[in-house]
Amino acid sequence: MCAHPTDCPSAETPAARSAEVVAPHPEQGWCLLCNGVILFDDGGTILPDGTTHNPATAA
């Protein structure tokens, strides 16, 4: 999915959040990364396969 010179980490790796932003939507609180991950301002993610990861919450 990457079109820039360096390859970004795939959505399945722990480093997935370090991929390049291709569609920022700060007014809505999310952005699309080049590896297909949707990253929310609160740290939650939706992976390309539909899997969701919620941010850690403080106890």
- How many angstroms separate the Cα of 56 from the Cα of each of 4, 21, 45? 31, 22, 12
Residue 35 has what pLDDT?
93
Q: At residue 59, does pLDDT exceed 50? A: no
Q: CA 21 to CA 2: how far, in whole Å?
A: 10
Mind listing the pLDDT tens digit for each residue in 24-35?
999 999 999 999
What percent of the chain stands above pLDDT 70?
Answer: 86
Q: Residue 45: CA atoms inside 13 Å, Cβ hemisphere, count?
A: 21
Ramachandran angles phi, psi of 23, nearest 5°: -145, 90
Mean pLDDT of all residues in 47-59: 79
* Sheet of 38-40, strands arranged across: 21-25, 30-33, 38-40, 45-46, 52-53
Per-domain residue ranges of the chain: 16-53
- Enter the pTM of the model: 0.82
